[in-house]
Amino acid sequence: MHAALASFLHSLPTQPRLLGLGEPMHGEEAFPRLRNRVFQYLVQHEGYRSIAIESDCVAGLMVDDYIAGGAGSLDDVMKRGFSHGFGESAANRELVEWMRDYNRGRPAEDRLRFFGFDAPTEITGAPSPRPVLTTLYDYLAPHVDIDRRPCTFDAIDALIGDDERWTNPDAMMDPSQSVGSSSDVAKLRLITDDLLALLTSESPHLVSATSPTDWRLAHFHGRTAAGLLRYHATMADTSPTRWQRLMSLRDAMMSDNLTAIAANQARQGPTLVFAHNLHLQRHRSDCQMGDQTLEWWSAGAIIDPRIGDHYAFIASALGSAQHHGVDTPSEDTLEGILCTLPEGHYVLDSRRLAAALDAMESEPTRRPDQRTGDGYFFALEPDHLVETDGVIFTKNIASSSA
């Protein structure tokens, strides 16, 4: 696989700053294990120095500190440094161990970095903005006089109030239970905007008094606070587009995080980005929720025009995984055609694959998406194959790999 991956990478018009590697479903260990193999090759042979995965961006700071040699236990890092249950993944644990071992004894400029790039939200709701707003305010306070700040932190603390009202699990399904429509949230959004403006207008002084790294970290927390408050406000929305707006906001936060990673890591080396295909693809994403079809622009679609050739996307495609209920695909689908190839794994150039499909007598159909025991399996869309750069195809995953 490494030779095919190297050939693909060297066929790209330029070395990407962000190389997206998608997976067609969550909950299958074969995909993050494949990611680990790809990442280790990229580090050792292509100069990559960081990885970003679909996990809480704030929690990810804990993982990054640990792999840099920070204190704490691996068990605690896996428990608190990941969201969406990804800390329970054996492959993610192996990734963290490998990165910490790789960094041991290396100078700071050559160490690997870990990033979560997802919004700090779960399907059950979103957290209080208190931690991220506190970090932003605490950064500004020693360097900007109180009369330049929009308010005291006591005023912010009073507006936030009880953290439990932010994390009410009933709010995700019932907009009336959300704190997002309150005047407190409206005031906090304005205050956060003012704090971010202050962070920008005072940046020459702040960077000189602290460091570029500290300033970027403060901006990250402020950006995250603004995104969380926007998300809570949308949770209170009673319109039919509520869920679609929430999906859009999540991927918009993802794209902002990836944009910052691409800019900040440019000197150290490229970043491998690992997430579901739906979050990395260039075309409009969609999924079914009940009787409603949700459509939104993914993080990959948003970031692609921002950095152009510096973003590349390899989609993952799967033939079958019987233990997840993903059966052998029909012969007239893209995955069914790929299953006729003799080997079990392939790295394919999308342009060549699309040309081969065009030469066939009949166009492949899209395989139906289907619910699995762990969520959903989403098939590749043949019509959008040209909007990927490459495809990693796995013919079959046996239950022993889970």
pLDDT for position 203: 98
pLDDT bracket for residue 400 (50, 70, 90): low
For 180, phi and psi rounded to 5 degrees?
-60, -25
Spatial CB neighbours of 271, under 8 Å, sequence gap ≥ 6 = 17, 18, 19, 48, 49, 50, 51, 52, 113, 115, 261, 262, 265
Q: Are 395 and 359 in contact (CB under 8 A)?
A: no
**Domain map of the chain by residue range?**
1-120+258-396, 129-238
- pLDDT band at residue 288 under the 50/70/90 scheme: confident
Domain 1-120+258-396 of CATH type 3.40.50.11550: yes
The rounded distance, in Å, linking the Cα atoms of 319 and 298 is 24
Residue-wise pLDDT for 223-279, tens only, equals 999 999 999 999 999 999 999 999 999 999 999 999 999 999 888 999 999 999 999
Backbone angles phi, psi at 71, to 5 degrees: -75, 170
Specify the pLDDT at position 279: 97
Counting residues of the chain whose pLDDT is more than 90, the rounded percentage is 88
Is pLDDT above 80 for 322?
A: yes
Please check the confidence at residue 162 and state whether its pLDDT lies above 50.
yes
The predicted-structure confidence for 323-382, as pLDDT tens digits, reads as follows 999 999 999 999 999 999 999 989 999 999 999 998 887 889 999 888 887 678 999 999
Look at residue 402 in the predicted model and tell me its pLDDT.
41
Q: Which residue has the higher pLDDT, 400 or 7?
A: 7
* pLDDT over 60 at 401, yes or no: no
